[in-house]
Chain A
Amino acid sequence: MSLALGGSAALPTTHTLAAERHTMLAFLISGFSALLVGAAIGPLQALNYAGIDAYPYLRPVLQTYYQGLTIHGVLNGYIFTFFVTCGLLVYLPARELGLPPNMTLWRFCFGVMAAGTVLLLFAMFDNSSSVLWTFYPPLQGSAFFYLGLTLVALGSLLPLPVLLDLRARWKALRPGELTPLVTYMSLTTMLMWMLAAIGVAIELVVQLDPWALGLTRTVDPIIARTLFWLTGHPIVYFWLMPAYVSWYGLLPREAGGKLVSDPMARLTFALLLIFSLPVGSHHQFQDPGFSPIWRGILTALTLSVALPSLITAFTIGLSLEYAGRLRGGRGLFGWFTALPWRNPSVAAQVLAMLTFIFGGATGIVSGSWQLDNIVHNTTWIPGHFHLTVGTASAMTFMGAAFWMVPHLTGRRLLSRRLALAAAWLWFIGMSVFALGMLWSGLHGVPRRAWVSFLPHGVYQRIYGVAHLPLALAAIGGVILWLATIAFYVVFFGSLFSLEPGQ
C-alpha cells in the first residue's frame, strides 16, 4: 500500500510510525474481536426464524434469544464498527499527510471506548440488560449498560479533534493547497458524526443515565425515541462513509487503476454531510401523532440521501472499469471479469458493492412512508440492514483487514484462498439470508421475536405462510457461520503466524 503520499517536511520518524501501526492494530483487533462474538451468535437468530431454538443448549452462556440478540446488535453495530472506523479514519489520513497524529488523544479514544465496551459486556453477559441495541425506554437495563454506551459514544467522537489538528498542521506546511482526498473524506465523516451523535448523547446523559442510576423516576419514551433516531439514522452513514473512504481512496489503486473523479468524491461526501442528518425520524413513521406532511418531508429527505450513493455507484463503477480495461478487459462487461478477483481485498470490496445495490434499493422502500407501513418492524428491516452495514460496511472492513494485517504486522496473509472463500461465503450467505428476511417480512413476520420458543402449532398457524423464506434465512445463517470461521482463521492465523512477509 503506497499511502505515504505526504510531503517531505516533518516526516514522521520510524519510531512514531511503529507507534501508529501498533495503535491501529489495537483498534483493528478490538473491533474484529467484537465482530467474532457478534457474528458467532448471529446465525442462532437466523435458525430461530426457521423454528429451531438453540438457546436451551447454550445456558449458562446465553439465557435467551433476546440476550443473544442484544449482544449481537451492540457488538456488531457499535463496537466493531466504531473501533475499526476510529482507527482507520486517523491512521489513513496520518499516512496520507505524512504527519504523526496526536497519539495521546488517539490512544485516549481507544481507552474510553474500551472501558465502555467492558461495562457493556458485563451488563449484557450477566443477562441484566436484554434491551436490544435500540434500548427504547421504559424497558430498562442495568446502569452499566447505559454508562458503557455513554463512554463508547463519547469516545467515538475523539478522532475529530485528532483530525482537525492533523489538517491544521498540514495546512500550515502547505498553505493554499487542497486537502488530500482521504483526509477530506475522513474529516467530513467525523464532522457528520459529531453533529449526529448529539441526539444519543443527550438521550443517554440527560435521560437514561440518571434514570438507570435511580436519580430520576420517569423518562419520556417519545422524546427518548426521537433523540435516539436523531443519531440512529446518521449512524448508518457513520458505518457506510468509512467504507466509501476505502472505495474512493484505496480500492481504485488496489484494482490497478485510479479514481477517475476527485471532485465527484468530494461532492458525494459534502452531500452525505448535509442529507444524512435530518432524516432519522423516518424510523418513527408509525409512531402516533406523526402528521402526513412531516412524513412526506422525511420521505423526500430520505430519497435525497440516495443521491450521493447513486453518484458513488457511477464514480466507483467507472474507476473499476478503468482498472479492468487497463488490465485487458474488452466488451461491455469484460472489464468486470478482468478485475483482480484473486486479490481477496479487492474481491471482498467489489462483492460488498454489489450487495449494496440491493441494500440501497430496499432502503428506498423502507424510507417511503406508504411502503414502510407494510414492512415496519418486520423481518424486512434486518433483511435490509444486513445488506448495508452487515455486508457493504462489514465486508469492506474485512477487505481492508486483508491488506492491513500484513501491512501493520509485516507478516504474510495466512491463506489467500481461504480469504477469498471467506469473502464469497459471506456474500452468498448474506444474500440468501437477506432474501429470506425481506420476503418473510412481507408476510408480516415481526423482527426481534423468539418465534422458535412458541408452541409449534402456534408457530405453524401464524408464520407457516412464510415457511420457504424463513428456511432461506436459516440456510443463509449457516453459510455465514462458515464464512465467519474462514475469515477468522485467516485473520488470527495471519496475526499469530511466524512467517515474515515479503
Chain B
Amino acid sequence: MSDTTGDSAFEQAFHKSAERHERVWTFIAVVLLCLLLAGSMFFVVSDYGVVVRTDGFRRDPAAAATAPAADAGLVRTGANAYAVFMLAHLWTWTPSPLHMPQGAAITFHVTSADVLHGFEVQGTTINVTVILGVTGSVTDTFDHPGTYYIICNEFCGIEHQAMIGRIIVDPARPS
C-alpha cells in the first residue's frame, strides 16, 4: 500500500480499508491452501483407497517381448484376485474383449510394444500412461456388471481414436 498517499478523504478511507482487507485476504489464501495441502497429504499417507493403486513399476526394455502370451487372459493370483497382462500396440489392446468376474480385485500390468499409449477405463479412475520398456501396474475392483471401454488417451498416431478395447464384467453367480 506504499503509493496510496493522496490527501482526499476518499484516498484515506480507501487506503485504510484496503490495507485491512489485503491482510485478511492473504491470510485466507494461505489458510485455504494449507488446508488443501493437509487434506491432500492425509490421503497420501493414511487412505490410499480414494483412487486406484498405480505405484507398481518395473523397468525392462524387453517388457513387451517377455510379457506372458497375450491370450493368457486373467491369471488367478488369490482367493478373489486376478492379474492380467495388457499389451498396447498400434492400435489395439490385447487381450480384448476381456471377461472378468464382478467384485474381484483385478491387477492390470500394462506395457507398450511401440510408442506411448494411455490406459484409461471409462467410468473408473484407472488412468495409466503406457510406456515402451516400462510395465505399469494398477489394481481396481469392478463392482457393477456390464461393458467398460478401454480408451487410449495418449496420442499414438493416425488411428489413435480407434484404439478402444472392451472389458466385460460378468455378474457374480448368486450364491
A residues within 8 Å of B by Cβ? 64, 66, 130, 132, 136, 138-139, 220-222, 258-264, 284, 286-293, 295-296, 299-300, 303-304, 306-307, 310-311, 314-315, 318, 322, 325-326, 364, 368-370, 373-374, 376-378, 443-444, 446-451, 453-454, 458, 462
Complex formed: what's the CA distance from A448 to B118 in Å? 12
Q: Would A300 and B41 count as touching, CB distance under 8 A?
A: yes
Complex formed: what's the CA distance from A447 to B1 in Å? 44
Q: Would B118 and A377 count as touching, CB distance under 8 A?
A: yes
Residues of B within 8 A of A443 (CB): 122
Residues of A within 8 A of B26 (CB): 310-311, 314
Residues of A within 8 A of B4 (CB): 260
Complex formed: what's the CA distance from A139 to B157 in Å? 8
Q: Which of A64, A315, A454 is within 8 Å of B158, CB to CB? A: A64
Q: Would B25 and A314 count as touching, CB distance under 8 A?
A: yes
Complex formed: what's the CA distance from A289 to B133 in Å? 12
Interface residue? B175 (CB, 8 A):
no
Complex formed: what's the CA distance from A259 to B131 in Å? 49
Residues of A within 8 A of B134 (CB): 222, 288-289
Q: Which of B44-52, B68-76, B81-89, B95-103 contacts A (4 or more CB under 8 A)?
A: B44-52
Residues of A within 8 A of B156 (CB): 139
B residues within 8 Å of A by Cβ? 1-4, 10, 14, 18, 21-22, 25-26, 29-30, 32-33, 36-37, 40-41, 43-45, 48, 50-52, 54-57, 59, 110, 114-116, 118, 120, 122-123, 125, 127-129, 131-137, 149, 151-158, 160-162, 164
Q: Would B40 and A66 count as touching, CB distance under 8 A?
A: no
Q: Would A376 and B56 count as touching, CB distance under 8 A?
A: no
Minimum distance in angstroms from B136 CB to a CB of chain A: 3
Residues of B within 8 A of A451 (CB): 161
Q: Which of B32, B40, B110, B136 is within 8 Å of A296, CB to CB? A: B40
Besides A370-B50, A446-B153, A453-B162, 11 more A-B contacts (Cβ < 8 Å) are A139-B157, A295-B44, A296-B45, A311-B26, A326-B10, A364-B36, A369-B40, A370-B51, A373-B52, A373-B127, A377-B154
Q: Would A373 and B51 count as touching, CB distance under 8 A?
A: yes
Residues of A within 8 A of B153 (CB): 376-378, 446-447, 449
Complex formed: what's the CA distance from A446 to B154 in Å? 8
Q: Would A288 and B135 count as touching, CB distance under 8 A?
A: yes
Residues of A within 8 A of B160 (CB): 66, 448-450
Q: Would A373 and B18 count as touching, CB distance under 8 A?
A: no
Residues of A within 8 A of B52 (CB): 373
Complex formed: what's the CA distance from A447 to B118 in Å? 11
Residues of A within 8 A of B135 (CB): 288
Could you name 11 residue pairs across A and B whose Cβ atoms are closer than 8 Å?
Answer: A132-B155, A221-B132, A263-B2, A284-B129, A288-B137, A307-B30, A310-B32, A311-B29, A314-B26, A326-B10, A368-B40
Q: Would A138 and B55 count as touching, CB distance under 8 A?
A: no
Minimum distance in angstroms from B75 CB to a CB of chain A: 19
Minimum distance in angstroms from A331 CB to a CB of chain B: 15
Q: Would A288 and B152 count as touching, CB distance under 8 A?
A: no
Complex formed: what's the CA distance from A65 to B54 in Å? 32
Q: Which of A130, A370, A376 is within 8 Å of B40, CB to CB? A: A370
Minimum distance in angstroms from B11 CB to a CB of chain A: 9
Which residue in chain A gives the minimum CB-CB distance to B29?
A310
Complex formed: what's the CA distance from A373 to B154 in Å? 14
Minimum distance in angstroms from A305 CB to a CB of chain B: 10
Q: Would A66 and B57 count as touching, CB distance under 8 A?
A: no
Residues of B within 8 A of A453 (CB): 161-162
Complex formed: what's the CA distance from A443 to B37 in Å? 27
Q: Would A454 and B162 count as touching, CB distance under 8 A?
A: yes
CB contact under 8 A between A368 and B36, given known A138-B115, A449-B160: yes
Q: Would B33 and A304 count as touching, CB distance under 8 A?
A: yes
CB contact under 8 A between A262 and B36, given known A284-B129, A448-B155: no
Which residue in chain A gives the minimum CB-CB distance to B6?
A258
Residues of A within 8 A of B122 (CB): 443-444, 462
Which residue in chain A gives the minimum CB-CB distance to B57?
A289
Which residue in chain B gives the minimum CB-CB distance to A458?
B164
Minimum distance in angstroms from A178 CB to a CB of chain B: 10
Residues of A within 8 A of B45 (CB): 296
Q: Would A322 and B14 count as touching, CB distance under 8 A?
A: yes
Q: Would A288 and B56 count as touching, CB distance under 8 A?
A: yes
**What are the nearest 6 A-B pairs in CB distance?**
A288-B136, A289-B57, A296-B44, A444-B122, A377-B153, A446-B153
Q: Would A373 and B125 count as touching, CB distance under 8 A?
A: yes
Complex formed: what's the CA distance from A286 to B117 in Å? 12
Minimum distance in angstroms from B23 CB to a CB of chain A: 10
Complex formed: what's the CA distance from A290 to B55 in Å? 6
Residues of A within 8 A of B161 (CB): 449-451, 453-454
Residues of A within 8 A of B151 (CB): 444, 446, 449, 462
Residues of B within 8 A of A261 (CB): 1-2, 22
Minimum distance in angstroms from B14 CB to a CB of chain A: 6
Residues of B within 8 A of A368 (CB): 36, 40
Residues of A within 8 A of B120 (CB): 376-378, 444, 446
Complex formed: what's the CA distance from A378 to B118 in Å? 10
Q: Would A462 and B55 count as touching, CB distance under 8 A?
A: no
Q: Which of B37, B129, B157 is within 8 Å of A286, CB to CB? A: B129
Complex formed: what's the CA distance from A260 to B20 in Å? 13
CB contact under 8 A between A318 and B22, given known A221-B116, A292-B55, A307-B29: yes
Which residue in chain A gives the minimum CB-CB distance to B30?
A307
CB contact under 8 A between A303 and B33, given known A286-B127, A288-B136, A446-B120: yes
Q: Which of B41, B54, B157, B162 is within 8 Å of A288, CB to CB? A: B54
CB contact under 8 A between A446 and B18, given known A139-B116, A376-B127: no
Residues of B within 8 A of A260 (CB): 1, 3-4, 18
CB contact under 8 A between A66 and B155, given known A304-B33, A325-B14, A374-B127: yes
